Amino acid sequence: MVNDFFNTQNLPTRGDTTTAMSPLSQAIEPDWSREHPRKLWDPTRRLLKCIRRWQALQDRRGVFARIARRYWSLQHLFWGIVTQCELPLATQIGGGLLLPHPNGIVVHPGTSIGPNCLIMNQVTLGQGNAGGVPVIGGWVYFAAGARVIGNITIGDFSIVGLNCVLMQDVPAGGVAVGVPARIRVDPSRLPGNNGTGAS
């Protein structure tokens, strides 16, 4: 399963040059194919499918919509238990999200996640003491155990390192590591600033 994710160049390093998308558009245009279930037993993609279906019905009225919403929320409950991942139905997710190891992921429902992000196991995206939740750009990578807390903004093409505790903004192309986070900007991570990612 992990190979399935990584072989397709899904790690957000300098943009993915293997797709038809330009590197810059990878942070803007969701690659929905990353979310399509590959087989019947594909728990994380099934979980995401429930969220997509439920959100598509969110503003619909009528008995059919109510029954369908109930159906998808029960499915969501089932896949949430299977994956041990707390990704609420109302979370704003830009599309193309990858969750290779979903266990222990906890996301606040108010969090906004940009397109084509990748979240590893035991990551928390949540509310800080003063309230507020993270707003996350496109093509951001959260390594295992990262804790991202509060009203902060994370720019496109950023990385939040293993076990990092992040409570401050990260500019585009930033790399955050440590507890509390130290942030450095790696311009080579931004499309157009390196020998490989430029279109």
Ligand X SMILES: CC(C)(COP(=O)(O)OP(=O)(O)OC[C@H]1O[C@@H](n2cnc3c(N)ncnc32)[C@H](O)[C@@H]1OP(=O)(O)O)[C@@H](O)C(=O)NCCC(=O)NCCS
Regarding 165 and contact with ligand X (CB under 6 A), the answer is: no
Return the number of the residue (51 or 146) whose C-beta is nearest ligand X. 146
The CB-of-6 to ligand X minimum distance in angstroms stands at 9
Return the number of the residue (65 or 165) whose C-beta is nearest ligand X. 165
Site map 145..164 versus ligand X, x via CB under 6 A:
--------------x-xxxx
The CB-of-162 to ligand X minimum distance in angstroms stands at 4
Q: Which of 9, 74, 77, 178 binds ligand X (CB under 6 A)?
A: 178
Return the number of the residue (109 or 178) whose C-beta is nearest ligand X. 178
SS3 per-residue string spanning the chain: CHHHHHHCCCCCCCCCCCCCCCCHHHHCCCCHHHHCCCCCCCHHHHHHHHHHHHHHHCCCCCHHHHHHHHHHHHHHHHHHHHHCCECCCCCEECCCCECCCCCCCEECCCCEECCCCEECCCCEEECCCCCCCCEECCCCEECCCCEEECCCEECCCCEECCCCEECCCECCCEEEECCCCEEEECHHHCCCCCCCCCC
Return the number of the residue (53 or 101) whose C-beta is nearest ligand X. 101
Regarding 143 and contact with ligand X (CB under 6 A), the answer is: yes
Contact positions toward ligand X, by CB under 6 A?
120, 143-144, 159, 161-164, 175, 177-178
